[in-house]
Copies of this chain bind each other. A is one copy, B any other.
Amino acid sequence: MAEQSLSVFKTTSYQEKPNDHELSFGRTFTDHMFLMDYSEESGWHDARITPYQPLQVDPAAMVFHYGQSVFEGLKAYLSPEGEPLLFRPQKNLQRLNQSNERLCIPQIDEDFLLYALKQLIQIEKDWIPTSEGMSLYIRPTVISTQPFLGVAPSTNYTLMIILSPVGAYYKEGINPVKIAVENDYVRAVRGGTGEAKTGGNYAASLKAQEVAAQDGYAQVLWLDGVEKRYIEEVGSMNVFFKIGDEVVTPQLNGSILNGITRDSAMALLRHWGYHVTERVITIDELYTEYEKGNVLEAFGTGTAAAISPIGQLDWGHKEMVFNNGETGHLAKNLYDTLMGIQYGKIDDPFDWVINVNTAVSTKVS
């Protein structure tokens, strides 16, 4: 792929940064963003870091009408030495391109994008919150911009990366949630877009979440769209169960997102000697094992929370309480270890962490 240059236009009016304790998730954005455009003639071009500002988008832009868009989510963390760290960012950029493939969006040079991301993080380094458990959330997004109402892949795209300082997910320590098995709504189906990180999957999930919240649940557990039996994901997270000596997570089947925290959790668990299997698991099997007293722990995995223990799972009138509704051993260890690695506080046996300050200037052009 052609070498690209990256232009930087700094803002002239810096915002005042919020106090760490005021931060929640995804509401505050930093002073700068990264943008890059695609056209059929020029490919991906005009890579630039600019002040954070509204986009000018034609009312007929395809993203508004036909939802052709993909995104990613990762975080920058500050090490004890004050160095900005990224956790497996190459995986996110790979997945971005896999999503692009499914959505008929042109591929992006992952090396260049990582280079641009590092530059952006360096410029916005002071926006990484310093308090315990806080981080800078990174959101790359590709939108289709051709002003055309035909149902066809767009000829033009814009990629943006915006940054949002986020508070600690658990304000009072890691905390189990109550989940409902979703029986009416479907998030994704085999042959659909569930494996891609694209807006439509999330739009489809809003209604179920709204109903569940009214009933007092934090999230829903999604079953497959075909038989409504196979466990897929929990909210916007992958899901794990400890059943006897086995740690089970649903196998990737085309409608489940290939989570990077999922992959990391499996690697750590295996490293620690656990027997981890990716396989189909039905809600019936889970309940049967639960009744036998074999389901010892359940938790979700995802970038936002890292690990989210499930205290209770309701399947219609059948209630399953795991580990007395308290955070289990595995969830706790995974959480502490992931956070330790991500913040550069403990040994990183798999070389998952990248220091943004090193090697950032190797590809200046």
Contact assessment for B151 and A65 in the assembled complex, using a CB-CB cutoff below 8 Å = no
**By the criterion CB–CB under 8 Å, are B149 and A139 in contact?**
yes
Q: How far is the CA of A57 from the CA of B143 in the complex (A)?
A: 12
Contact A56–B54 (Cβ < 8 Å): yes
A209: chain B residues within 8 A (beta carbon)? 151-152
Listed stretches A185-193, A306-314, A315-323; interface member: A185-193
Do the beta carbons of A65 and B71 come within 8 Å of each other?
Answer: yes
A319 to chain B, nearest CB (A): 23
Q: Give the interface centre of A148, A150, A206 by most chain B CB atoms within 10 Å.
A: A206
Complex contacts, A60 vs chain B, CB 8 Å: 26, 29, 139, 162, 164
B55 and A59 contacting across the interface, CB-CB below 8 Å = yes
The segment from A85-93, A197-205, A355-363 that touches chain B is A197-205
Interchain CB contact under 8 A, B200 and A191: no
Please name the residue on chain B nearest to A153 by beta carbon: B206
Interface of A is mostly: loop
Interface residues of A in 159-212 (CB under 8 A from B): 160, 162, 164, 184-193, 198-207, 209-210
In contact, A64 and B65 (Cβ under 8 angstroms): no
Contact string against B for A residues 231-269, beta-carbon threshold 8 Å, 1 for contact and 0 otherwise: 000011000000000000000000000000000000000
Give every chain B residue within 8 A of A148 (Cβ-Cβ): 26-27
| Of B57, B150, B198, B203, the contact of A25 (CB 8 Å cutoff) | B150
Count chain A residues whose beta carbon lies closer than 8 angstroms to a beta carbon of B: 66
Does A287 sit within 8 A of B, measured CB to CB? no
Query: Which residues of chain B have C-beta atoms less than 8 A from A69's C-beta?
Result: 64-65, 67, 203
A58 at the interface (CB under 8 A from B): yes
Residues B191 and A104 in contact, CB atoms below 8 Å apart: no
Query: Residue A299 at the B interface, CB < 8 A?
Result: no
**Please, how many angstroms separate the alpha-carbon atoms of A67 and B144 in the complex?**
12
Contact B52 A54 (CB under 8 A): no
- A351 to nearest B CB, angstroms? 29
Measured CA separation A198–B235 after assembly (Å): 21
B186 & A64 in contact (Cβ 8 Å cutoff): no
Measured in the bound complex, the distance between the Cα atoms of B33 and A235 in whole Å is: 38
- A120 sits at the interface (CB 8 A): no
Q: Which residues does chain B contribute within 8 Å of A190, judged by CB atoms?
A: 186, 225
Residues of B near A203 (CB, < 8 A) are 66-69, 103, 193, 198-200
**Do B26 and A199 touch (CB < 8 A)?**
no
For A143, the chain B residues whose CB sits under 8 A away are 64
Q: List 25 A-B contacts (CB under 8 A).
A: A25-B149, A26-B60, A26-B149, A27-B147, A27-B149, A29-B147, A54-B58, A59-B141, A65-B139, A66-B206, A67-B67, A67-B201, A69-B203, A103-B206, A104-B206, A139-B149, A151-B235, A151-B236, A185-B191, A189-B189, A193-B203, A198-B200, A199-B200, A225-B226, A226-B227
**Top 8 closest pairs, chain A to chain B, by CB:** A200-B200, A67-B199, A26-B149, A186-B191, A66-B202, A67-B203, A189-B189, A54-B56
* Interface residues in chain A, defined as those with a beta carbon under 8 Å from any beta carbon in chain B: 25-27, 29, 33, 52, 54-60, 63-69, 71, 102-104, 137, 139, 141, 143, 147-153, 160, 162, 164, 184-193, 198-207, 209-210, 225-228, 235-236
Supplied contacts A26-B150, A185-B191, A192-B204, 6 more A-B pairs, CB within 8 Å: A54-B58, A60-B162, A64-B143, A68-B203, A192-B192, A200-B204
